[in-house]
Structure 1
């Protein structure tokens, strides 16, 4: 099961739970597992997917969010047209508030992808639910001279990638094979509502654990270290990973995460 080398690229926008600090460690673990198909049922902005340095022949990214999937499909298939839509976009609080109030289902796919990218790049902390306008003293958060090179890299990286818009359980069921490796990045324990109402609940952790018990393939999952998580996934292997998150230049917050696998 040969993996081909690829050049890592940066995600095009911040996203809550973006995995920047954990990426190298998880990518190393992914590359250690022999597989022909790589699947991410909770891809988000691809914090792990885009930072990997090797790929199998078949790659699948999935998210239940229509905004996420529309953005990636547009970047994959309609990249030149997307740049035309973005050409005159400026960073301003009023434009942020206007787009935040716009129902994405009323937009064309190009408009919806542009709206989502703009909101994610200009909101504070990469929030999806309850976005607020983020102020940066380092320049405009939506600067096309900086955004376009990222979009170009992601457009090229998505070549040949299968993009799905399924519930996580349906994605796992559809692509489960003995030679499949799933990387799972579900919402963290006690953070289920951060991605929107009805997207994921505390009950889903047990449902996910039950499904993973019966799969043919292999999986790696990153999650926050909570007693409830350790109990629900107790039948699987667990690796503790310590991280330091910078709250401000003078302080760091130490946290522990788990890499759970079968």
Structure 2
């Protein structure tokens, strides 16, 4: 079934922008649909789990607006994990680093060196360097170059996406909910299995996609990784989970027995474009109000 943004209407609740990270194709825009699924399934006082969190825009939006009681965010990449851990554990220190940040190519080079070489367990240093590059690189891609170029002759400069007041406010808000956010650095399948039997839990898997994964994700998947995830989720079909992927034939091959629908999503990596993606549902997940009758 083809839908346009899951039949959302302008009159519905506007999605909140909470995450400090910029992610091409980030799923914060699915807030309205996820909010509805939580309500259809009686999970509004439960736990929301993202095994491949990245920017965690949807998770934070759902938590801050009271749609769920707790969220679990996970990322296998040590740099993204360090960002989330340092932000949750030390929001005041993180905010201070934002306020004191110099926005220049020289500073960008220092932060890039920290991103590449800082000890993986120096969470604040590595986490802030990851954040700095995300906010100052083109489209937020960590392996890209700074906005405006190394010579800063572009139409936009390195500080174009680094509003210190707005970013410190997001950090402050997330810090208020820190005790209700658990942060993990593990394989996504392991996290799914950890939470699969937990009551009142919705798992939303948004793994690296089949196409363009190398440019949009820090950890791309092999074909074996995609197959392993499918085996895991298909084996948990009596649990409540959903999955999003790019609209490619492999998804139908891996999840052909599950319900799915197409949706549109705006990407901003290098140029604005609208992509068709697929959402897959477990059989246990109620997807519309009619099924409640």
Structures share fold, TM-score greater than 0.5: yes
Q: How many residues end up aligned between the 2 structures?
A: 252
Tell me which moved more, 175-184 or 41-50. 175-184
Match of 1:236 in 2: 258
Tell me which moved more, 165-174 or 223-232. 223-232
> Deviation digits for residues 53-91 of structure 1, max 9, x if unmatched?
444444211111222222222222212222333332111
Q: For residues 116 and 253 of structure 1, do their structure 2 counterparts lie closer, same or farther at Cα, with a shift above 3 Å needed?
A: closer
Tell me which moved more, 31-40 or 108-117. 31-40
Matched residues in 1 for 2:266 and 2:72: separation?
A: 30
How is 1:114-125 mapped onto 2 (pairs within 5 angstroms)?
114-125=128-139
Question: Does the aligned pair in 1 maintain the 2:265–2:274 contact within 8 Å?
Answer: yes
Match of 2:278 in 1: 258
Where is the strand percentage greater, Structure 1 or Structure 2? 1
Question: Does the aligned pair in 2 maintain the 1:24–1:51 contact within 8 Å?
Answer: no
Secondary structure, counterpart of 2:180 in structure 1: coil
Match of 1:126 in 2: 140
Moved over 6 A (4+): none
Match of 1:3 in 2: none
**TM-score using structure 2 length:** 0.76
1:167 aligns with 2:187: yes
**TM-score using structure 1 length:** 0.84
Q: Structure 1 stretches of 5 or more lacking a match?
A: 1-6
Secondary structure, counterpart of 1:163 in structure 2: strand
> Deviation digits for residues 137-172 of structure 1, max 9, x if unmatched?
695433322321121122223332221111001101
Question: Does the aligned pair in 2 maintain the 1:193–1:201 contact within 8 Å?
Answer: no
Question: Does the aligned pair in 1 maintain the 2:49–2:73 contact within 8 Å?
Answer: yes
1:16 aligns with 2:38: no
Q: For residues 137 and 25 of structure 1, do their structure 2 counterparts lie closer, same or farther at Cα, with a shift above 3 Å needed?
A: farther
1:196 aligns with 2:218: yes
> Deviation digits for residues 218-251 of structure 1, max 9, x if unmatched?
1111211111122211121101113455799xx9
How is 1:138-217 mapped onto 2 (pairs within 5 angstroms)?
140-177=160-197, 179=199, 180-194=201-215, 195-196=217-218, 199-215=220-236, 216-217=238-239
How is 1:15-54 mapped onto 2 (pairs within 5 angstroms)?
15-35=23-43, 36-52=46-62, 53-54=65-66
Match of 2:95 in 1: 83
Q: Structure 2 stretches of 5 or more lacking a match?
A: 1-14, 149-155, 283-293
Q: For residues 97 and 84 of structure 1, do their structure 2 counterparts lie closer, same or farther at Cα, with a shift above 3 Å needed?
A: same
1:219 aligns with 2:241: yes
1:13, CA displacement in angstroms?
1.8
Secondary structure, counterpart of 1:190 in structure 2: coil
